[in-house]
Structure 1
Amino acid sequence: MSDSAEGVRLQKVLANAGVASRRVSEQLIVEGRVRVNGEVVSELGSRIDPATDLVDVDGQAVQLDTSKRYVLLNKPTGVVSTMRDDRGRRDLTEFVRDFDERLYNVGRLDAETSGLLVLTNDGELANVLAHPRYGVTKVYIARVTGEVQPKTLATLTRGIELEDGPIRADKARILDTSRGSSLVELTLHSGRNRIVRRMMAAVGHPVTELVRRQFGPLHLGTLQAGRVRELDKVERGALLTLSRQAAADAPGDKEAS
């Protein structure tokens, strides 16, 4: 936190970030609900450097760097998760044309899988979301062949062996069973390639349709396939909070981004 008079008053920074009005921001500070670089700041005259200082309110990170963009895409099937495909397949470029920033996808969904994909120009955040070290959870809904039994779910959560090592679902539940197929919800923190398809095939229920509904704190909601939207203030705060917590948990093991 800057001690010089050249910094910006904290309540002004909060107001500019859309946290609250200047007056309400002052009240938040006085009540001890605002931290700068992990330290509670309750003095109204405090000044900070928005370019380098990290601010949170009630434990929720506040985005101060307005150059960072965070976008949620409901990726349709038939689209590969890359910004440029050298084989001429449909890629992600069509979904980022309206943004001035150069956005990149966080992780991948295979071409046959639809659902939630995050696009951003925040490399540090992208590293946290995509790296298996941080264990960010993902929730998938899979239509599979055959009628899945509860004992199969128990096998998935207990763990199975694949060609690239053991894997288990954090959670698994049956949503529907009808006409020789089942709808299954799987929660995983693994980012391994085509992991849901391989897991379900291994227990005898190949996937016919797959959608990712949740990625960390983000939910697909009612966003239609092929549509994008920018994350709202609460969603951005949740992502940044996750990113900062991960950095704090592994201070000497953070990858460059």
Structure 2
Amino acid sequence: MDLEIHRPEGVRLQKVLAAAGVGSRRKCEVLIERGLVTVNGEVVDQLGVRVNPAEVVIEVKGKRISVDDDAVTVVLNKPRGVVSTMSDPQGRPALDTYVREFSERLFHVGRLDAETTGVLLLTNDGELANRLAHPTHGVSKVYIAKVTGAVPANLCTRLRAGVDLDDGPVRVASCTILDVSKGHSLVEVELHEGRNRIVRRMFDKVGFPVVDLVRTRFGPVTLGNLGPGELRRLDREELGSLMQAAGL
């Protein structure tokens, strides 16, 4: 193992894990002894190892653990009518209303149009935000769309095959018809891109305009039990999973 990991001025690995919210110091020691912790890709199964948290990548059971106390990432259940900007010169409800409790300067990761609700991430980690937003990383996003009309059984086959839009084709990674009733249908779709109003434009193209749209997941982050306008700070494990999804 790299000798840099054992530097005497470092912090004991189990203490770092406990501070990151993995569990009690004793639980973290058990995880280490069972070989479930890696540092820079190498298994650490002995107690007493010291690390510099700022210079190493730590994973527990294959999931990266965030140890940066200055990084803040939150998930907001964005309400309808709120624009995805930190402030709005036209006086419309904006995101600054929901993050006033944080002293850190947070900014949003991507956008949801004003009428779309659900998962919106905000962070002060610029690298994480850039990677999550960049199309090359293809971080998945899941939406539930209420559309006009009774959709046919083969709709998902068509969406998976791809739909041509003005700015290029779009195809869903997965699709499930949740409900078909008189006048409306519920369809869940997963995409790996986030072009402007892409879900609405896709359903418009196939003849089923969206009446209501909610994003239920961004990468590994879900709404959970958040009500409209509520937010929560991601825990260490959740943030680690998000960083992995972003390729960090």
Using structure 1 for the length normalisation, give the TM-score: 0.90
Listed one character per residue, the Cα deviations across residues 86-130 of structure 1 (whole Å, up to 9, x for unaligned) are: 332211000000111111111110111111101111122212221
Secondary structure at 1:78's aligned position in 2? Answer: coil
Superposed, 1:106-185 pairs within 5 Å as 106-185=109-188
Distance 1:221 1:31, change over 3 A: closer
Listed one character per residue, the Cα deviations across residues 21-48 of structure 1 (whole Å, up to 9, x for unaligned) are: 2233223222222111111223322211
Is 1:219 matched up with 2:222? Answer: yes
Alignment-derived partner of residue 57 in structure 2:
54
Listed one character per residue, the Cα deviations across residues 153-211 of structure 1 (whole Å, up to 9, x for unaligned) are: 22111111111111111112221122211111111111111000000000011111111
2:84 to 70, 81, 85: 81
Alignment-derived partner of residue 235 in structure 2:
232
More displaced stretch, 73-82 vs 218-227: 218-227
Is 1:17 matched up with 2:14? Answer: no
Structure 1: gaps spanning 5 or more residues: 248-257
Is 1:95 matched up with 2:107? Answer: no
**1: CA distance between counterparts of 2:182 and 2:29?**
60
> Size of the alignment, in residue pairs?
245
Secondary structure at 2:154's aligned position in 1? Answer: helix
Secondary structure at 1:226's aligned position in 2? Answer: coil
Question: Counterpart amino acid of 2:176?
Answer: R
1:69 to 72, 96, 104: 72
Root-mean-square deviation (CA, aligned residues, Å) is 1.5
More displaced stretch, 227-236 vs 149-158: 227-236
Secondary structure at 2:112's aligned position in 1? Answer: coil
More displaced stretch, 135-144 vs 83-92: 83-92
More displaced stretch, 42-51 vs 77-86: 42-51
Secondary structure at 1:81's aligned position in 2? Answer: coil
Secondary structure at 2:145's aligned position in 1? Answer: strand
Is 1:104 matched up with 2:112? Answer: no
Alignment-derived partner of residue 193 in structure 1:
196
Secondary structure at 1:128's aligned position in 2? Answer: helix
Contact (CA 8 Å) 2:64, 2:237: kept in 1 or not?
Answer: no
More displaced stretch, 23-32 vs 155-164: 23-32
**2: CA distance between counterparts of 1:156 and 1:39?**
42
More displaced stretch, 137-146 vs 11-20: 11-20
**1: CA distance between counterparts of 2:190 and 2:166?**
21
Using structure 2 for the length normalisation, give the TM-score: 0.93
Q: Which aligned runs of 4 or more in structure 1 are off by greater than 3 angstroms?
A: none
Secondary structure at 2:185's aligned position in 1? Answer: strand
Secondary structure at 1:187's aligned position in 2? Answer: strand
Q: CA deviation at 1:235?
A: 1.8
